[in-house]
Structure 1
Amino acid sequence: MTNASVAPVVDKPADETPSGQFVTFPGSPFELYQPYPPAGDQPVAIDQLVEGVENGEVFQTLLGVTGSGKTYTMANVIARLGRPAIVFAPNKTLAAQLYSEFREFFPKNAVEYFVSYYDY
C-alpha cells in the first residue's frame, strides 16, 4: 500500500493547537490526533510496518533511540491498519507513559492498560 492510496480525512479539534488535527483513514475506526505530521524516518517506518502487517509478516521490529517517536509511529500504524493492538512495555513506569501518550493520540477511542503484579 502506498501513501497515494491512503487518503486521510482531516478534522480540526475544537481545542486544537496550531498544527494539531484529527486524522482518520478509510476503513479505520480510529481517529488519530496528530499534533504534528510524521517526520524524519517516521513516514517510511509507518509505510514499511503497515506493508509488513498487510503482507502477513508475523515479526517486525521498530528500532529507535529514546525520543525518536516510536510511540507516535506505532499510533500512526494502528490508525492506518484500523485494527486493535496490544503494545507491551517492560515495566510499570513505561506502561503508564505509553497509556498516557496513546490516550493523547486516540482521545476518541478506547485505550486501556493492564499491569501484572507478578514477577516472572
Structure 2
Amino acid sequence: MASEFQPAGDQPKAIADLCEHIENGIHHQTLLGVTGSGKTFTMAQVIQQLNLPSLILAPNKTLAAQLFSEFKQLFPSNAVEYFVSYYDYYQPEAYVPSSDTFIEKDASINEHIEQMR
C-alpha cells in the first residue's frame, strides 16, 4: 500500500477489530465515521492486512469515481477496477398482484457513459 500516512486516532483499533472479525467469520460489519474521518484509508489498511480480493460498492457514480481514484493511488501495484452502470434510471417490469397492475420496464441510458463502454 502506498501512503505517507499511518493509522491514527481510532483507526488502529478499528483496523484490528475489523480484521479480527473477518478472520473469525464475521463478514457483515459497519464502519461509521463523518466525512473526512479516514474510512477509506481504514478500509485500505484492512484490505492490505488481510490480503484478500475486495469489492467496494458505492451508492452513486460520483462516490464510485472518488473511491476508484483513492484506491488506485493507495494500491498502485494492484488491480483496481471501476464499473458503473450506463443506466441513469432503471425500472424492471413488475406485476403487483394486490392491484392486478403490470408495470412495464422503463430505463434511461446515459449516452456519455454508453460511449465509453
Check whether TM > 0.5. yes
1:82-112 deviation line (CA, Å, top 9, x unaligned) = 0010011110000000000001100111100
Q: Deviations over 1:59-101 (max 9, x none)?
A: 1000000000000000000000000100111100000000000
RMSD (Å), alpha carbons: 1.0
Whole-angstrom CA distance in 2 between matches of 1:58 and 1:74: 13
| Distance in 2 separating the partners of 1:58 and 1:113 | 23
Deviation at 1:58, TM superposition (A): 2.5
In the alignment, which residue of structure 1 is the partner of 2:96?
Answer: none
Unaligned runs of 5+ in 1: 1-31
**Which SS does the other structure have where 2:30 is aligned?**
coil
1:89 maps to what in 2? Answer: 58
Off by >3 Å, runs of 4+ in structure 1: none
Work out the percentage of aligned pairs sharing the same amino acid.
65
Give 1 or 2: higher strand fraction: 2
Number of paired residues? 89
Task: State the structure with bigger RCO (CA 8 A, min sep 6), 1 or 2.
Answer: 1
| Mapping 1:45-84, distance limit 5 Å | 45-84=14-53
* Distance (whole Å) between structure 1 residues aligned to residue 66 and residue 85 of structure 2: 16
**What is the distance in 1 between the residues matched to 2:27 and 2:77?**
29
Task: Structure 2: state its 5+ residue gaps.
Answer: 91-117
- Counterpart residue type for residue 49 of structure 1: L
Larger radius of gyration: 2
Cα deviation 1:23-75 (Å, max 9, x = unaligned)? xxxxxxxxx11221011111111000000100000310000000000000000
